[in-house]
Amino acid sequence: ETGVTQSPTHLIKTRGQQVTLRCSSQSGHNTVSWYQQALGQGPQFIFQYYREEENGRGNFPPRFSGLQFPNYSSELNVNALELDDSALYLCASSASGWDTEAFFGQGTRLTVV
Amino acid sequence: RKEVEQDPGPFNVPEGATVAFNCTYSNSASQSFFWYRQDCRKEPKLLMSVYSSGNEDGRFTAQLNRASQYISLLIRDSKLSDSATYLCVVTRDDKIIFGKGTRLHILP
């Protein structure tokens, strides 16, 4: 158990809809990162939040957005869902910085139909 | 070309064998390096950080060669429980880049 929890575990949405995924970080961690993992691929970095501010972003369009709350939990929002957004979405928390161990949640499996 | 490239795999090796994973990264400004392990349908977990001086943890040895932009992971005396996907991870500026991963099957 990493102490990082994600909800929901599975989700089915229709193309064009919007989705919000949630992540509770491990106690004492102020940094949260989000990843998209397609089947057979490594995780792709979406963005990172540090103390409620976005401080890094991968190559994802603006319809992928996020929030971090004062308790360091986080949300990933995806608008105008496309079929290719179907993937496992992973959240990871870390103490701070880019060179500290990241602890992953078990992910949310999103299917867009 | 992807920024982090790993052996395509899968590797099928007998129990007790030594296994070597290779990873190359294209951006010389990369700052930190890690190996993560991911079991089937599970989340990734940190296996080792990688330093230029090399580091060892039991049966696992990781090496970084900054001049060649190359990272390696060696597993000695492999066990059935080592079967998993091994992910090479590099951080740069404000990004974290995962390789595609190399799947390892240890055969009894």
Bridge partner residues of A74 (DSSP): A23, A68
Residue B19: name the closest of B69, B64, B86, B68 by CA. B86
Would you call B31 helix, strand, or coil by DSSP? coil
The number of C-beta contacts closer than 8 angstroms across A and B is: 54
Span A97-104, mean pLDDT? 78
Distance from C-alpha of B21 to C-alpha of B63, rounded to nearest angstrom:
11
Bridge partner residues of A19 (DSSP): A78
Compute the nearest-CA separation of B62 from chain A (Å): 16
Per residue in B20-57, pLDDT (tens digit) is 999 999 998 888 999 999 999 899 999 999 988 889 99
Compute the nearest-CA separation of A105 from chain B (Å): 6
Per residue in A42-81, pLDDT (tens digit) is 999 999 999 899 988 999 999 999 999 999 999 999 999 9
Q: Phi and psi (nearest 5°) for B80?
A: -55, -35
Q: Phi and psi (nearest 5°) for B99?
A: -75, 175
A45 vs B contacts (CB less than 8 Å): 95-98
Interface check A28 vs B, CB under 8 A: no
Residue of A nearest to B31 (CA): A99
CB-CB neighbours of A65 under 10 Å: 16
- A94-113 burial: b if 16+ Cβ within 10 Å, else e: beeebeeebbbbbbbbbebe
Question: Which pLDDT score is estimated for B54?
Answer: 87
| Mean pLDDT across chain B | 93
